[in-house]
Amino acid sequence: MLPAAGQRNGRFPLRPVGWPPPRTEIRLSVSDPPTTLNAMQITEFDASDPDRIAGAFDVLTAAHAADTPENPVPVRRFFETTFTHQWPGRARRWFAAEEEGRVVGHLSVTFHLDSNPHLAQFRLHVHPDHRKRGIGSALLDQAVELSREEGRTTLNTEAPLFWEGGPVRSEAGARFLEKRGFSRALTSVNRRCAVDAIEPSEEDRMFAEALDAAGDAYELRQWIGRTPDDLVVSLCRMDTMILSEVPLGELDVEPEESDVEKIRAAEAVNEAEGLIMVDSVAVDKATGEIVAWSGIGVDEGPYTAAHQGITIVDPAHRGHRLGLLTKLANLRQLRERFPNVRTIWTDNADVNAHMIAINVALGYETVDAVGEYQRKLEA
């Protein structure tokens, strides 16, 4: 998936509305194909086909257990909701690879509708027991053909990678892509942090210093769920700013304009998915505008992992530790409201030195990485 912001985690961008939530369930997990497919067939399906949805989720969970077992588990409610609730400005199509009536692989292809008209994104999984038999290649061919039919010239996906100090990762997915004309355009490193990683007195010191650096010019605002009405227009400005302010490597991506309609539509999707947003912002008292923003997503239910999404500071207001202030404030809000959560996951472009330094200071430790892969499609 494309990175959402100065921080993007392997599962999803919590916002901006500019990107559909890339969750952990989406990871390329295939290897070199053989010469036969044993009567495998590919069928397009949608929300009216619960059996194939269930089969696809089974493939997802099996792939997760085989490929990235240390990462947060897939969430069934989220997966099922992707078939019934479209992210604003997106259209998605699903395909199942089946053998003898059983789903052994699945593919999703996402098209941007009101921005990046050249771009298609795909994600596919193959069940670990059915790899190295051509299923991944057949699904990839489906993605390429469909993208060409839709007039798209750039195809984007991702694959898990090993990162120094982390658990073993097969890079078969990355090699698969590279052999088929994809090149790595960006590397994002996944990190996790215990919610109580910082010793309390040290956290108090860091928070006090951040408050002191911010001074009296800013007001800290926090909320759970829907953005307050008096801040939603200002949040659109920050949301639109994201892709201009974060490292994108060689990704062929254009900024997308956010608006209130998209923000509210995205919030409706989050609510349907059971994704609860935890947000903290710094507001410039002189203008009433949001100038720093940090968000975390929490799944409804007994899940112990939360996901740090966007952390961004308006360039005109940098140098006041507003990024650290909003992240620490949001951490405290998370602990207070969601005591079941034990860890927070995030990821950053490997070249995003400033945000990485903040995360290290907060106790984040490296786990693995994701390669963002891209291929130009010939006419």
Band of pLDDT at residue 25, cut at 50, 70 and 90? very low
Average model confidence (pLDDT) for the chain? 90
According to the model, what pLDDT value does residue 243 have? 84
**Closest of 3, 77, 66 to residue 274, by C-alpha:** 77
**Closest of 14, 2, 10 to residue 293, by C-alpha:** 14
pTM beyond 0.85: the answer is yes
Band of pLDDT at residue 22, cut at 50, 70 and 90? very low
From the number of C-beta atoms within 10 Å of its C-beta (0-12, 13-18, 19+), residue 201 rates as exposed
CATH of domain 193-370: 3.40.630.30
**Dihedral angle computed from the Cα positions of residues 215, 221, 222 and 225, in that order, rounded to the nearest 10 degrees:** -150
Contacts of 201 (CB under 8 A, 6+ apart): none
41-191 and 193-370: identical CATH topology: yes
According to DSSP, the residues that pair with 158 across neighbouring strands are 372
What are the structural domain ranges in the chain? 41-191, 193-370
The strand ranges marked E within 195-231 are 218-224
Helices (H), 215-304: 232-245, 260-273
Q: Report the amino acid identity of residue 123.
A: R
Helices (H), 314-352: 322-337
**Closest of 291, 344, 348 to residue 322, by C-alpha:** 291
Whole-number Å distance between alpha carbons of 244 and 373: 20
Return the DSSP state at 73: P
According to the model, what pLDDT value does residue 36 have? 44
Sort residue 226 into left (φ over 0), alpha (ψ -120 to 50) or beta. beta
Whole-number Å distance between alpha carbons of 105 and 58: 10
**Dihedral angle computed from the Cα positions of residues 11, 183, 143 and 28, in that order, rounded to the nearest 10 degrees:** -40
CB atoms within 10 A of CB 112: 22
According to the model, what pLDDT value does residue 56 have? 98
Give the model confidence (pLDDT) of 326-360 as tens digits: 999 999 999 999 999 999 999 999 999 988 999 99
CB atoms within 10 A of CB 166: 17
Give the model confidence (pLDDT) of 111-130 as tens digits: 999 899 999 999 999 999 99
Phi, psi of 165 (to 5 degrees): 90, -10
For the segment 181-204, the average pLDDT, to the nearest whole number, is 97
Sort residue 52 into left (φ over 0), alpha (ψ -120 to 50) or beta. alpha
According to the model, what pLDDT value does residue 2 have? 30
The CATH number corresponding to 41-191 among 3.40.50.2300, 3.40.630.30, 3.40.50.720, 3.40.50.970 equals: 3.40.630.30
According to the model, what pLDDT value does residue 37 have? 57
